[in-house]
Structure 1
Amino acid sequence: MSVLIKGGTVVTADLSFRADVYCEDGRIAAIGEDLAVPATAEVIDAAGQYVMPGGIDPHTHMQFPFMGTVASDDFYTGTAAALAGGTTSIIDFVIPKPGQRLMEAYEQWREWAEKAAADYTFHVAITWWDDSVREDMGTLVRDHGVNSFKHFMAYKNAIMADDETLVKSFRRSVELGAMPTVHAENGELVYQLQQEMLDKGITGPEAHPLSRPPLVEGEAANRAIQVARAMNVPIYLVHVSCKESLDAITRARTSGQRVYGEVLAGHLTIDDSVYRSKDFDFAAAHVMSPPFRPKAHQEALWHGLQGGNLQTTATDHCCFCTDQKAAGRDDFTKIPNGTAGVEDRLAILWDEGVNKGRLTPNEFVAVTSTNTAKLFNLYPRKGSISVGADADIVVWDPQGSRIISAATHHMNVDFNIFEGRTVTGIPSHTLSRGRIVWCNGELRAERGAGRYLHRPPFAPVFEAMAKQGALQEPQPVER
């Protein structure tokens, strides 16, 4: 199949220019004006529109078994919805149970993902430690294209990684050229604060943000950053939701440490008032961790994105329907944590970012696609409009609009955290490896068409860092 995207403005993370883009055999074959292409090529009229790299969501949880249930979007429905919104690749998470071999969990997730409609790859979580974990980390990097490992500092008595596990896993990551990533919340503090809320009789969703205040995230973020500094390894913090975490990242980056931060579309646009609704179903639908924060944190996060201390945007797409959330009706700690958003991220960020002057179109491309591709070694195959790159492209209509609603979205969940918002700026077409999978409101996703993406390790960079040693040796003080 060949496709000519004609008459649009190509927008990359670096520059914008008028050009046609010709795609053939799943790749971008030519970029320019008056291209000579086969008469059989399908033509997309992109006049007045932008031609951008498809979005890459670095943080999703499809079909995730969690808190006694399973996320309602599987790898087909979730990735199909992503394509409808202009996202053409996801990085999901393999999360072994404590004591489970990493390779066993990895094979299970690969099996689940065979139905994916879009390209995908995995971070693998380190939820416990012994010699088998160390061995499997090596196998995953060398043989399966995994170059990032996730560490939950929250969820005590479940998947929480303690400091010993962080140190050993970070050290192993250095050896392998892999990037440690962390969910930064002090799990012990959260557990104790949850018990305090329950002891006080505060059992509804309003207790959720009270048990996870910004300080528990800020403390964990700072601790993880310092462990990474001691191990001399780069670190990536997922779903940064508050000023305290952003400040820890900013301090570290100012001192020269390689620290990267991700922010969710929801944390940029929704505040903690949602938890105070008297409608349990509404409030519970917003329960995720970290929780939505007071409005002041949103402006700080936008500044972090604008200033380059936050590099990527994601969704933490992990959706549960109303009847699943009802498991915590009498105890907020039993509400499955997670919200949807993989279909809406690009539209929300364009409307709240570009349309309001917070981001340029080029910065939008950087934070929704290119930066993720670079950080996780997918660039320039993904995240770029360049000859030879995968033809993962979104044709973006800056004047198009839609009203976001659970009644019309393609995600397999009965609630939308952005319900009722009118967004201006939507995809008219999405291409996944050269196939038109979204066309003016028509979803053409194919079950199983997604491809697993191998990501090489960062060995050359990490080897150079290792030669520098870990913490600087103390110098004698002259008296």
Structure 2
Amino acid sequence: MSLIISGGTVVTADGRFQADVRVDGGKITALGLDLAQSGDKIIDASGKYVLPGGIDVHTHLSMPSMGTVTCDDYYTGQVAAAMGGTTTHLDFCIQPKGSSLRAALDIWHGRAKGQAVIDYGFHVAVTDPLPEVLDEIAGLPDQGVTSIKLFLAYKDTLQVDDTAVFRCLERARDAGVLTLVHAENGDAIEILMAEAVARGETAPKYHALTRPPELEAEATGRAIALAEVLGAPLYIVHLSCRPALARVREAQARGARVTAETCTQYFFFTKDDLDCLGFEGAKWVCSPPLREKEDQAALWAAVGDGTLSVISTDHCPFRFDTQKTLGRDNFTLIPNGVPGIEERLMVLHQAGVRGGHFSLERFVALTATNPARSFGLGGVKGAIAPGYDADLALWDLERPHTITAKTNHGAVDYSLYEGMEVRGMPVTVLVRGQTVIDQGRLITERGSGQFLHRQRI
């Protein structure tokens, strides 16, 4: 007996067409008209658009940070993701100081075990690049991990120096592993933050003012230069501003192996949101910080023309009532990060597709197909074609929805997009052919999600 998704409009990165989708053993086996046979299970998709499930390649679940832990775990965060149409995510495993990469992965596997409701993989953040740790990079693909992350910011905690960046890029290149970089100049930022606090400038708005775009651009250019010398692939995470975008565009024009993402929040908010009355601005504290209206326009253009190939979330949720308040008297102590794993696809469809910035096909590319291809999931995830996992989101493009924390499904107590009205949302979501969400109801079991062994880059 097959599963047939019947009567919908299939949308891929390359086009849209009327077709049934046949699913056998969790895989798509055929596309065509009138595929249903006697005994098949039918999901009626009439009037719906059938999209590949979203892939979010930048999330932080159950992650220790700045004296606390992100409030979404592998259950609450993934339920929220699925409700928003995301069926796969890649989470960051952070190497504790003194730990091996293998031990770090064991910790993160333990956090996810028995909790997942969608499929997931890991990037490993190298924070303590001892010689024996560098040697481990070659073995990561055998563990299903084909990407590492390096922080050029967060001095004395996560930040690594240029020697480590160069050596990691070299080892990763030889292992078929992609290197991701958080590009901000942490040394300069540390000085600017200390000087601001010494002047009594402790409100949330100073988070943005002490992390200027020039320092993101400098670190972006530095990472690109090191990667170019080695001929190593490089991926810039959460790019936020015009000067950094220019460094990426220039590198791509030279033929460098550089790709980059931006994140949903950078399209919708600016540094002015950090200057809310009282302490409310802490809700918008993330790094890199929110920028200017002109940067938003540049980012919309860049996802349209292909300079930026992925839109992720950097979902790093902290409750406002108990966690963001750790920095009430000093912005440097506000946990850095914002939520968005549930809202990503809905707000991007509203502002991006309905707003005329890109087509529905480009929406699929930015949120599913390109992430899969970039991170070793090509041929498995991110498209609707025979042989791919049947990760599908059935969208009602006319259904209205008002975003509010009260109706969201994660553990965080606020939404950046509170009160935003969207038209178009996923109503049924499948992972490997199994219905996970239907009409706003979770109908899968905790632990049904699977760890993904990704291909070499």
TMscore range, shorter length: over 0.9
Partner of 2:17: 17
Q: CA deviation at 1:28?
A: 1.2
Alignment partner, residue 134 of structure 1: 134
Q: Counterparts of 2:38 and 2:131 in 1: how far apart (Å)?
A: 56
Whether the 8 Å contact between 2:4 and 2:40 is mirrored in structure 1 is: no
Match of 1:203 in 2: 202
SS at match of 1:451: coil
Residue equivalent to 2:79: 80
Do structure 1's residue 297 and structure 2's residue 295 form an aligned pair?
A: yes
Distance in 2 of aligned mates of 1:54 and 1:37: 25
Sequence identity of aligned pairs in percent? 44
Aligned length: 455
Deviations 1:143-178 (A, max 9, x none): 211111100110001010110100010010111011
Instruction: Give the distance between the partners of 1:228 and 1:67, measured in 2 at CA.
Output: 30
Q: Which residue of 1 aligns with 2:250?
A: 251
Q: How does 1:128-277 map to 2 (within 5 A)?
A: 128-141=128-141, 143-277=142-276
Alignment of 1:437-448 (within 5 A): 437-448=436-447
Q: CA deviation at 1:38?
A: 4.4
Structure 1, residues 383-429: CA drift from partner, whole Å, max 9, x if none? Answer: 01011211100111111121111000001110111111001110011
Cα deviation for residue 443 of structure 1 reads: 2.0
Deviation of 1:40 (Å): 4.7
Q: 2:437 aligns to what SS in structure 1?
A: strand
Counterpart residue identity of residue 59, structure 2 = T
2:311 aligned residue (310, 313, 321): 313
Equivalence for 2:45: 46
Distance (whole Å) between structure 1 residues aligned to residue 93 and residue 450 of structure 2: 16
Conserved 8 A contact 1:22-1:31:
yes
Deviation at 1:31, TM superposition (A): 1.2
Hey, what's the Cα distance between the residues in 2 that align with 1:275 and 1:3? 48
Assess if the C-alpha contact under 8 Å between 1:7 and 1:19 holds in 2: yes
CA deviations 1:113-137 (Å, max 9, x no partner) are: 1111110001111112222112221
What is the TM-score with the length of structure 1 in the denominator? 0.93
Contact 2:117/2:436 (<8 A) preserved: no
Range with greater deviation from structure 2 (165-174 or 266-275): 266-275
User: What secondary structure sits across from 1:195 in the alignment?
Assistant: helix
What is the one-letter code of the residue matched to 1:358?
H
CA contact (8 A) 1:22 1:37 kept: no
Q: Distance in 1 between matches of 2:352 and 2:399?
A: 16
The answer for unaligned runs of 5 or more in structure 1 is 459-479
How much has 1:98 moved relative to structure 2?
Answer: 2.5
Q: Does residue 378 of structure 2 align to residue 379 of structure 1?
A: yes
Letter in 2 for 1:13: A
Q: Is the 8 A contact 1:51 1:395 kept in 2?
A: yes
Q: Give me the whole-angstrom Cα distance separating, in 1, the residues matched to 2:421 and 2:282.
A: 23
Two-structure CA RMSD over aligned residues (Å): 1.1
Give the Cα–Cα distance (whole angstroms) in 1 for the partners of residues 127 and 59 of structure 2.
Answer: 18
The alignment status of 1:122 with 2:99, answered yes or no, reads no
Which residue does the alignment assign to 1:434? 433
2:323 aligned counterpart, secondary structure: helix
Letter in 2 for 1:27: K
Q: Could you tell me how far apart the structure 2 residues matched to 1:239 and 1:218 are?
A: 12
Aligned partners of 2:397 and 2:424 also within 8 Å: yes
In 2: Cα distance, 1:446 partner to 1:287 partner: 34
How far apart, CA to CA, are the structure 1 residues paired with 2:435 and 2:402?
23
Cα separation, 1, equivalents of 2:327 and 2:3? 49
Give the distance between the partners of 1:236 and 1:268, measured in 2 at CA: 20
Structure 2 equivalent of residue 450 of structure 1: 449
Is residue 80–residue 445 contact of structure 1 (8 Å, CA) maintained in 2?
Answer: no
**AA at the equivalent of 1:116:** A
Contact 2:4 2:36 in 1 (8 A): no
Contact 2:51 2:364 in 1 (8 A): yes
TM-score relative to the length of structure 2: 0.98
- In 1, Cα distance between equivalents of 2:235 and 2:46: 38
Query: Do 2:11 and 2:361's aligned partners in 1 also have CA atoms closer than 8 Å?
Result: yes
